[in-house]
């Protein structure tokens, strides 16, 4: 959209379009970065989930900036609307909304090492983007991005023709995932409301009364 707008505008409009593109990028980048740091640094897991939502929004903005409109929408709906919701459900269900005790970290030396590793990876990646460029220039197996037609239309066409097999496989994968999830959280044949009350009323077993942070035998 923006490209079309910028193309239609005159050179003076081109400057405006240019500036607006940069502005959008800046905003999107800031939101994503803030969200990312929030996920990593915040203590309360609910806060982390909300930061993740912020990141997702930022990335959706960047998608739009790169004229991947359909993907931006899907990103917000699926990621922000479903995945993060799931996360929040589980956080509530498991009661893990308390702080992580820092004193009982078994691998205390891991943090600086992790930071170093990540920095090195980052720097290598940055260098790679600039120094090495391996685009082969091969012919697009699907359509050109800038060709005629809307983004959604072109995407749909390529999914249902060129990428039909992956599409069907991922559909099956989704079904399997649902079945797997149901199976995983079953408590067995006695998972009725009476047994749940009984389990709640039972005195805590040795497993439940163990000190947190010690390995469970």
Partner 1 sequence: MTVPGPWYLVLAAVLFSVGATGLLVRRNILVMYMCIELMLNSVNLTFVTFARMLNDLGGQDSVFFVLVVAAAEVVVGLGIIVAIYRRRSGATADDVSSLKG
Partner 2 sequence: MNAAYAIVALPLLGFVINLVLGRRLGEPAAGWVGTAAAGGSFIASLVVWVTMLGKPAGERVTDLNIFTWFPVAGLHANAGLQMDPLSITMALFVTGVSTAIHMYSIGYMHRDPGFDRFFVYLNLFLFSMVVLVLADNFLFSFLGWEGVGFCSYGLVGFWFQREVAAVAAKKAFVTNRVGDVGFLLAMFLMFAHFSSLNYSAVLGTVVKGHATGLLTGTPGAIDGTTATAITLLLFLGAIGKSAQIPLYIWLPDAMEGPTPISALIHAATMVTAGVYLMARVAPMLHYAHATSWVVACTGAGTAFLAATIACSQDDIKKALAYSTVSQLGYMFLAIGAGDYVDGIFHMLTHAFFKALLFLAAGAVIHAMANRQDMKQMGGLAKYLPLTALTFAVGWLAISGIPPLAGFWSKDAILSSAWGMNKVLWAIALVTAGLTAYYMSRQFALVFTGQARWKEARPAEVHEASGPGLPAVAHEEAQPRDPTWTMAVPLVVLAIAAVLGGGINFPAWHFNFLSHFLSPIFPAATGATVSTGTKWALSVVTTAVALTGLGLGLTTWRTAAHPKLEPNFLRKAWYFDDIVSATVSGPLTAMANALAFVMDTKVVDGVVNGVATSLGLSGRVLRKLQNGYIRSYALGIGVGLVVVLVYLTFRTGS
Choosing from 8, 93, 107, 138, the residue that interacts with partner 2 (CB under 8 A) is 107
State the binding partner of 21 from partner 2, partner 1, none, CB within 5 to 8 A by kind.
partner 1
Q: Which residues from 113-152 bind partner 2, rule CB under 8 A?
A: 113-114, 117-118, 120-121, 124-125, 127-128, 131-132, 134
Question: Who's near 47: CB < 8 A, 6+ residues apart?
Answer: 38
Distance CA 125, CA 141 (A): 27
State the binding partner of 132 from partner 1, partner 2, none, CB within 5 to 8 A by kind.
partner 2
Distance CA 65, CA 46 (A): 29
| Whether 69 contacts 1, CB under 8 Å | yes
Element (H, E) at 102: none
**Nearer of residues 112 and 188 to partner 2, judged by Cβ:** 112
How near is the Cβ of 136 to partner 2 at its closest, in Å?
Answer: 11
The b/e string for 79-103 (b: 16+ C-beta within 10 A; e otherwise) is bbeeebeebbeebeeeeeeeeeeee
Measured in whole angstroms, the distance separating CA 118 from the mean position of its chain's CA atoms is: 19
**Binding string, 188-217, against partner 2, x = CB under 8 A?**
---------------------------x--
Candidates 51, 108, 129, 32; CA nearest to 121 is 129
State the binding partner of 34 from partner 1, partner 2, none, CB within 5 to 8 A by kind.
none
Q: How many residues bind partner 2 (CB under 8 A)?
A: 17
How near is the Cβ of 115 to partner 2 at its closest, in Å?
Answer: 11
How near is the Cβ of 159 to partner 1 at its closest, in Å?
Answer: 6
Say which DSSP state 106 is in: S
User: Considering the rule CB under 8 A, would residue 110 count as an interface residue with partner 2?
Assistant: yes
**Nearer of residues 95 and 193 to partner 1, judged by Cβ:** 95
How near is the Cβ of 27 to partner 2 at its closest, in Å?
Answer: 29
């Amino acid at each position: 959209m923006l490209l079309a707008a910028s193309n239609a505008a005159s050179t003076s409009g081109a400057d405006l379009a240019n500036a607006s593109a940069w502005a959008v990028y800046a905003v999107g980048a800031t939101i994503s970065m803030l969200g990312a740091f929030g996920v990593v640094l915040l203590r309360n897991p609910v806060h982390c989930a909300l930061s993740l939502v912020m990141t997702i929004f930022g990335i959706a903005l960047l998608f739009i900036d790169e004229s991947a409109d359909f993907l931006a929408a899907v990103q917000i709906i699926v990621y922000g609307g479903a995945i993060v919701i799931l996360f929040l459900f589980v956080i509530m269900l498991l009661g893990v909304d308390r702080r992580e005790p820092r004193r009982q970290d078994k691998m205390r030396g891991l943090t600086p090492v992790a930071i170093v590793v990540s920095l090195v990876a980052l720097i290598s990646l940055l260098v790679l983007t600039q120094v090495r460029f391996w685009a082969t220039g091969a012919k697009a197996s699907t359509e050109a991005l800038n060709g005629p037609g809307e983004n959604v239309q072109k995407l749909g066409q390529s999914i249902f023709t060129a990428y039909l097999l992956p599409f069907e496989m991922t559909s099956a994968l989704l079904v399997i995932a649902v079945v797997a999830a149901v199976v995983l959280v079953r408590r067995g044949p006695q998972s009725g409301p009476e047994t749940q009350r009984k389990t709640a009323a039972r005195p805590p077993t040795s497993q439940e009364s163990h000190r947190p942070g010690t390995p469970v035998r």
